[in-house]
Structure 1
Amino acid sequence: MTDRVTDHDARALISRIETESARLAALAGDLSVPVPTCPGWTFAELITHVGQTHRWAVHVLRGQVQERIWSRQVPSDLAEGRSGDADWLMAGAAELLDTLRTTDPELAVWTWGPDRRASWWPRRMLFELVIHRADAELALGIDPVVPAEVAIDGVEEFLHNLPYASWVARPLAELGVEGATIHLHASDADGEWTITQGPAGKISWAPGHAKGDAAVQGTASDLLLLLYGRRSPEALTVHGDRDLLTRWLATAAF
């Protein structure tokens, strides 16, 4: 998927957001369960984070916000000191879905990524949900799986936005690996990408086959989870500089 989202793409993204929201809510039974992939969080914090992110997107889109605003600055509809639950999550998801369906994708709004249009938000909200649904499943001992076509788009959404994640650029710059390359190869779908570490911690990437200083092969689902720090490189096939791959992944995940 390119950075310009068609009507068909938007409908598919919104449908998947609806599905993923319901899947996450269904997992949110005991809110005291720890979530190991989000250190220090229980299900209560996980659900609250996702629901607050939905309300953030709604606030930006409905208010046609043009200046930077972060999710913590947006009202949560929760009493002070209270966490969200499954019903609260689904209420926010319903509001998000209605907003996405009725907002012009070309509307100019603030985003933290490169695309200052409303069309940036559905894709970001989908993969926020996908990864946190995976967090919930891992916490419950369930092996998460992302459909290959969704995971392929997720890898590209991650790489598309990563150069604009300012909170990641500084730690990447401190790795001292400028010019290093990492190649990703999906084993179950048509997906290959090469990431090049550039100056000042910024990255560039290109699709297609190439040789990298480090290369990793696995299912598209596993590659997506790997980029987000939810899969260990040990679970995939790695060639070349394993230390580079491990250090880069630990730093780049967000």
Structure 2
Amino acid sequence: MSREHGPVDQGRLLTALGLEGRLLAEAVHAAPTEAPVPACPGWSLGEVARHVGSLYRLVRRRLTDGRSPDDWPRDPEPGQSLQDFLETGLTELLDELAAHDPEEPADTWWPADRTYGFWRRRMLHETVVHRVDVEQAAGAEPHGVPDDVAIDGVDEVLTLWFGQKLPMLGLTGTKAGSVGVRTGAHSWIARAGPLTTEAWRCSAEEAEAADDVVTAGPAQIYLWLWGRASLTSVTVRGVHDQAAQLWALLRLATR
């Protein structure tokens, strides 16, 4: 069993998942469910809430059954609010994750990490991104993303979604090249083209040698890579082609 460790402690990931899940539920309670979600065309705020609440239940069943379930609750019970649907699913998932060591084997879709820790990380970022969606849809004051959570999320979106999910989907770039991504003391390379799609952590010097170099604060890089901030919200040094391709490929990987 191989394990792809992220830059943030597993205990912090679990604590952050609990905090972010409750922020999401509170934001859903305070917002109109029919509000459109800017980053998810065709989705309403209520549909995003049902999606996350359903995922909490799907992942818990996957962990307890050892495989992806054929069926699981996708909507609130009659009379159950969306806030309660989210909070109940979150509590059950947190209990299951907390009851197992993060290194314990679990069924996942990433060969580099088949452990309970994968789901601590994956569900944290699923929750953060959709909490941002709900705030944007409601026009609410954003809570922001803590720097350590954002750095972990940058690592996840590059190594998991760009480096793993795109090849799984058979999607590639059209022009070969590389992007250096730098925020705080952390750096990554994302390389794409017709023949390769990969990303890895690297030194600042290696990142600076890429065709394009993207820099910004951790939360801004995180939101940009997840398509929750505009193309112009980060600083790009270079010809911009590779940075634009990275952004576009991630929209395909994470949709």
Shared fold (TM-score greater than 0.5)? Answer: yes
Q: How does 1:178-193 map to 2 (within 5 A)?
A: 178=176, 180-186=177-183, 189-193=184-188
Query: Are 1:195 and 1:206, in contact at CA under 8 Å, matched by a contact in 2?
Result: no
**SS at structure 2 position matched to 1:56:** helix
Q: Confirm whether residue 239 of structure 1 aligns to residue 237 of structure 2.
A: yes
Q: Which runs of 5+ in 1 are unaligned?
A: none
> Where does residue 159 of structure 1 map in the other structure?
158
Unaligned runs of 5+ in 2: none
- The 2-side partners of 1:204 and 1:95 are apart by 33
Q: Would the alpha carbon gap of residues 240 and 4 (structure 1) be closer, same or farther in structure 2, given more than 3 Å must change?
A: closer
Distance 1:170 1:4, change over 3 A: closer
Mark the CA change 1:79 to 1:97 in structure 2 (over 3 Å): closer, same or farther: closer
Superimposed CA distance per residue, residues 24-52 of structure 1 (whole angstroms, 9 cap, x where no aligned partner)? 11111321111111111111110011111
Instruction: Give the structure-2-normalised TM-score.
Output: 0.85
Distance apart, 1:193 and its partner CA? 1.6
CA, structure 1 residues 75+167, in 2 after alignment: closer, same or farther (shift >3 Å)? farther
For 1:54-203, list aligned pairs within 5 A: 54-65=56-67, 69=68, 73-76=70-73, 78=75, 85-113=82-110, 114-141=112-139, 142-143=141-142, 145-162=144-161, 163-166=163-166, 169-171=169-171, 173=172, 175-178=173-176, 180-186=177-183, 189-197=184-192, 200-203=195-198
Please state how far the C-alpha of 1:139 moved relative to its aligned partner: 1.5
CA distance in 2, matches of 1:15, 1:182: 32
Q: 1:52 aligns with which of 54, 77, 92?
A: 54
Change (3 A) 1:86 1:54: same
State whether residues 192 and 246 of structure 2, in contact with CA within 8 Å, keep that contact through their aligned partners in structure 1.
no
1:9 maps to 9
Give the aligned residue type for 1:158: V
| Post-superposition offset of 1:77 | 6.0
Farther-moved stretch of structure 1 (98-107 vs 220-229): 98-107
Size of the aligned set, in residue pairs, is: 242
1:4 shift after superposition: 3.9
